[in-house]
Structure 1
């Protein structure tokens, strides 16, 4: 397991790893866990250090279980540099394939909302197998983990996990999953927003076109889009056009309380 910190000081990296070990009930670093603070290197040197150490440890341990890079934006000049963004994501994608491993990266949202930063965020959105967001809950002392993208799956059907800082434990602790009702509410709200987007541009649509637009908007596979259409019909978010059963129109969202 390889951990690279490109953002924080050596002192903070040490504290984070100490908390990690405490959470695992260990007093010393296991040989197979390697953690490095790369802030003393230039951005170009950081990526080279990651590449070279991955190669070294792949042969030393006969494989790499996982790589964590906190965070990816500090490997390039800026998140809005399109050329460098494409290059770094392609390189990490290549390394994951070569070493048959999972690479986890951290990227902050833009301050104005839930959108990944710049060209780097767009490229990660396109290439990543999964994207998880960490947000403050309605109770600001609690953070929630939501799936934004799950390749070959439905992000809106993944349970929402909760965690919060525990003063006595001196670290964040897991608080379990949010109730199923809240997961369903999130799914309904997201699909209402999708319906408003689609039908804000047209009054009616065929099943095939609706599935294609849902795939494009939510970045999901065809079968997931079809399951969302079924859910939207059940919740009366959309309905068949009475004058032409080949088309769908938006449901009466106000009457449905949406």
Structure 2
């Protein structure tokens, strides 16, 4: 294991502080706990509450920022935008929008789009929306600025972070990914807000990028996918990937002549074709169960000392999964290895050698 990724206590913890946290963490059957008011809904189905965070994922140019602009506009207007309804109570009806990627000029265009969608006057600021462009700062400085804004601005109920990847130095550092998701969870709990983040997907598969993507999948209340329609690239469809509650119906939008997202009425995702349906693309997440992943890895890596280069690992993976599933090939194995790496089920510690990360992952 890479020693650089092992957290080190620089000084002994304060015992009184630890005891206080321990007592605060107790759960009792005689206590009532707030589940968090619903903040964001799609067709009446909750996707975000106070005290939690959610995420939008999608490949480049899928219109993720347009989608989140609609969420922000719904929060500002109190009206349905696309299919989003956002309810922010009196006293917590301010929005903090953080853009980490765009220049100030491009950020202003996003701000103008939000105001137009909310039917607010053009060229006039609103005190309910704080819009920050943090492109020029380091990840550490961005976190500090967001923390300062939350601590000193009264009435914030919704925070948009576009994109969360820029709060990290290394997108593939597991320790840093855990730290950032822990910060998001602390902010939502401490300030009783809802945070919605944006993260890119890998080019080669549907997984959110890097270890931060894996952590967000594990910790977010809802993960939304924004992707281009396979038939009409001018249309972006929005669907629920991971939820803790009921899944909302897939919907779609296009960009109109005013450069604003508008709902595609009666959208059908993939129209049926004559003849046999086309074969579904292999997806390790849906086509192989957690138990099957683990069984194959336990057979390939019988001891904690076993390590293999990519080719040997791929060949052994084909052999074991062919035994388990009945059929499996090298193309599928390549996708499977990417999946296993994103889930931290396999890691590369010694040069490019792979090993099974027993007990070091969350599925």
- TM-score > 0.5, shorter chain as reference: yes
Gap change, CA 1:45 and 1:178, over 3 Å in 2: same
After superposition, residues 152-163 of structure 1 pair within 5 angstroms as: 152-154=245-247, 158-163=248-253
1:197 aligns with 2:197: no
Structure 1 regions of 5+ residues with no counterpart?
183-188, 204-258
User: If the length of structure 1 is used for normalisation, what is the TM-score?
Assistant: 0.67
Helix, strand or coil at the partner of 2:200:
coil
Helix, strand or coil at the partner of 1:18:
helix
Once the two structures are TM-superposed, the CA of residue 181 in structure 1 deviates from its matched residue by 8.8
The separation in 2 between residues aligned to 1:15 and 1:147, in whole angstroms, is: 27
Q: Could you tell me which residue of structure 2 aligns to residue 164 of structure 1?
A: 254
Q: Could you tell me which residue of structure 2 aligns to residue 135 of structure 1?
A: 227
Q: Could you tell me which residue of structure 2 aligns to residue 178 of structure 1?
A: 267
Q: Could you tell me which residue of structure 2 aligns to residue 254 of structure 1?
A: none
Conserved 8 A contact 1:159-1:178? no
Helix, strand or coil at the partner of 2:203:
coil
Q: Quick one: which of 127, 134, 137 aligns to 1:38?
A: 134
Gap change, CA 1:197 and 1:165, over 3 Å in 2: same
The separation in 2 between residues aligned to 1:194 and 1:73, in whole angstroms, is: 22
Structure 2 regions of 5+ residues with no counterpart?
1-94, 272-279, 293-320, 326-363
Q: Deviation per CA, 1:185-211: give whole Å up to 9, x if none.
A: xxxx79x987853587758xxxxxxxx
After superposition, residues 1-258 of structure 1 pair within 5 angstroms as: 1-27=95-121, 28-57=124-153, 60-61=154-155, 64-138=156-230, 139-154=232-247, 158-166=248-256, 168-176=257-265, 178-179=267-268, 196-198=287-289, 202=324
Once the two structures are TM-superposed, the CA of residue 179 in structure 1 deviates from its matched residue by 4.1
Helix, strand or coil at the partner of 2:211:
helix
Once the two structures are TM-superposed, the CA of residue 161 in structure 1 deviates from its matched residue by 1.0
Once the two structures are TM-superposed, the CA of residue 175 in structure 1 deviates from its matched residue by 1.5
Conserved 8 A contact 1:73-1:107? yes
Query: How many aligned positions are there?
Result: 192
Helix, strand or coil at the partner of 1:65:
strand
User: If the length of structure 2 is used for normalisation, what is the TM-score?
Assistant: 0.48
Q: Tell me which protein shows more helix as a share of its residues.
A: 1
The CA RMSD measured in Å over matched residues stands at 2.8
Conserved 8 A contact 1:85-1:123? yes
Conserved 8 A contact 2:159-2:193? yes
Q: Could you tell me which residue of structure 1 aligns to residue 329 of structure 2?
A: none
